[in-house]
Amino acid sequence: MNYKLRKKSREAAYKLIYEALFSKFTPNEISLKNIVIEEKLEDDEDYIKIVYFGVIEKHEELIDLISKFAIGFKIDRIYKTDLAALLLSIYEMKYIETIPLNVSIAEAIELVKKYSTDKSSGYVNGILSSVFKELNNCE
């Protein structure tokens, strides 16, 4: 897989997931098609579809996992930009075996550095590290 293409595709999926947060996780086929065409991501469209529809399908499970580690924060208090990155990364970590866990975490952190607050990367990293440990049965 072309690293630059996947990075752009992940960012497109992130934007779609962010949008889904405001539509109560209702898929938007038009937004999906538009972002694939506008960003010229046809070669990685399958990844975007898998992640986007996967997050929508599994959102309750993913939200529960985030809630477990978002100590002191209810889901509705987490910045939507951070929540979108968490949902994307955790979906990848749980359901896409071809993406190394550390890559999912690093890419999520890059997204929040670009789209969220200065403190968000530490917060997102903390939650994702906890999820990583749980998924790998680490103590």
- pTM, two decimals, is 0.94
Domain holding 32, by residue range, is 3-135
Distance CA 36, CA 52 (A): 12
- The answer to whether 109 and 121 have CB atoms below 8 angstroms apart is yes
CATH classification at residue 103: 1.10.940.10
Residue 4 has pLDDT above 90, yes or no: no
Q: Looking at the 3D structure of the chain, how many domains does it have?
A: 1
- Torsion, CA 14, CA 40, CA 38, CA 112, rounded to 10: 20
What's the burial of 85, exposed, middle or buried (CB within 10 Å: 0-12/13-18/19+)? buried
pLDDT value of residue 43 = 94
3-state secondary structure (DSSP) of residue 41: coil
Tens of pLDDT, residue by residue over 37-63, are 999 999 999 999 999 999 999 999 999
Tens digits of per-residue pLDDT, 59-94? 999 999 999 999 888 899 999 999 999 999 999 999
125 φ/ψ angles, rounded to the nearest 5 degrees: -60, -40
pLDDT, tens digit, 9 for 90 and up, residues 96-106: 999 999 999 99
At 138 the pLDDT is 64
pLDDT at 89: 98
pLDDT at residue 112 tops 60: yes
